[in-house]
Amino acid sequence: MIILIIFLLVAVIVTLIVYNIHIQKRIESFQNLNERVNNLSVLQDFMKLTGEDDSVESKLRRMNDIVIERYDIKYSTIVVFDGSEYVIKASNVDPKHHETLLNLHNEEIFQDSVNTATPKYVTIENENEKLPYQKAEMGRAKSAMFFPLYIDNIYIGYWIMESGQMHAFDKTDTTIIEVVKDNIISVLKTVAYQDTIENIDRIDKNTELHSAEYLYGKAKNIMDGYATSAVCMFRISNIEQINEEFGRQTGTDIIAEVAKIVRQRMAKEYIFVRYMGPRFVIVFSGVEEGAVEAFLRDMKEEMEELVMLPENEEALDENQVQEYGASPTINMVVSTYYRGTGVEQLTKKLEEYIESAPKTENQINFI
């Protein structure tokens, strides 16, 4: 009888062990599936983020935030070499530690990782130690994973995850993290053109206006806050004649004064850039074409009342200034920008129209 009971107990124990193993496998399978779903979700969020009309810096910061939240990472920092120096593109680490994070490529422990394009995992073994790259920050991070970033086999920087716990990444599925790293590289690669556009913008010295490139970066983000916006390109159509008869300095001065007149009339939500040479662009954010005609007509009239003499011209009375001075004639063309469409295509259409118009044309055109 006792033997039978023992046999039954053993059978029950074996059954429970087998059942527990089965449950554990099911749990592991579920966890793996959950990780895949989570990774797919992260990828989808990255793709959505890449397509949004936002600055490159904002996209990278938000991408870093997604990684921190979805993978429960204490610290995450993305560092990129911009051609002249290493810059932190995104980080949730206190700025006082940024100098250390900007020089990880010089640390001996990571140099082999950079050279071989392989990740590096480092951790401390007791509370009295600190990670090799840390200076005076023992309490912040106790383990880290370092990933060099390459685009088309060209090293561009690195991504480092850090934790306040020892051995925090011992059981981390590196294949999942590698996918995240690849997604970070994809975003960096995708926004590279946008980054170039945003940083190529310059302020024109004569008019103190942004250059045309401003329209394709930061200005587009403003424009896309509205369903439609009226866009006006205007040209000082007689600038070549002014340069020839009065000298280039007079032409330059007229361009500066015309820009000043427009700036004084501009609402803060409108955008005004020196497109190129004697051509300018005004974006009336959120305003329909028909609503800007009266405004443009009044402004055009004020610009064309401007009279300017060469600096070395002798003093003349008012009648002589009107007779002998240089005055601009302004030709304008207006169209509509629709949210999410290409600004460059619209400005190209306006430029083609205004450049193909007769030099004597002096009116407001709607196309």
Q: How far apart are CA 327 and CA 308, in angstroms?
A: 7
Higher pLDDT, 15 or 76: 76
Q: What is the pLDDT of residue 232?
A: 95
For residue 190, give every residue at least 6 positions away whose Cβ sits within 8 Å of its Cβ, in sequence order, or none.
Answer: 50
Q: How far apart are CA 320 and CA 66, in angstroms?
A: 68
pLDDT at 262 over 70: yes
Instruction: Please compute the mean of the pLDDT values over residues 35-47 and round it to a whole number.
Output: 63
The burial class, CB within 10 Å (0-12 / 13-18 / 19+), for 138 is middle
Single-letter code of the amino acid located at 221 = N
Mean pLDDT in the chain? 81
Edge-to-edge strand list for the sheet holding 143-151: 86-91, 75-81, 154-163, 143-151, 120-123
Of 25-29, 105-109, 284-288, which range is least confident? 25-29
Cβ neighbour number for residue 254 with a 10 Å cutoff? 24
Beta strands 75-81 and 154-163: pairing type?
antiparallel
Instruction: Please compute the mean of the pLDDT values over residues 208-223 and round it to a whole number.
Output: 86
**Cβ-contact 286, 269 below 8 angstroms:** yes
Beta-strand ranges (E) seen in the chain are 75-81, 86-91, 120-123, 143-151, 154-163, 228-236, 271-276, 279-284, 330-338, 364-366
Higher pLDDT, 52 or 209: 209
Q: Is 170 helix (H, G, I), strand (E, B) or coil?
A: coil
Beta strands 364-366 and 330-338: pairing type?
parallel
Structure tokens given for 27: 């749990």
pLDDT at 364 over 60: yes
**Cβ-contact 243, 251 below 8 angstroms:** yes
Higher pLDDT, 29 or 222: 222
Beta strands 154-163 and 143-151: pairing type?
antiparallel
Q: What is the pLDDT of residue 194?
A: 61
pLDDT at 27 over 50: no
Q: How far apart are CA 206 and CA 115, in angstroms?
A: 48
Q: What is the pLDDT of residue 256?
A: 93
Q: What is the pLDDT of residue 48?
A: 74
Structure tokens given for 121: 């995992």
Highest mean pLDDT among 43-52, 203-212, 274-283: 274-283
Running DSSP on this structure, what letter comes out for residue 127? T
**Cβ-contact 188, 195 below 8 angstroms:** no
Q: Which residue has the tokens 């250390």?
A: 100
pLDDT at 195 over 70: no
- Of residues 137, 130, 145, 75, the one with CA closest to residue 100: 137
Q: What is the pLDDT of residue 172?
A: 76
Q: How far apart are CA 243 and CA 277, in angstroms?
A: 12
Distance separating the N- and C-terminal Cα atoms of the chain: 101
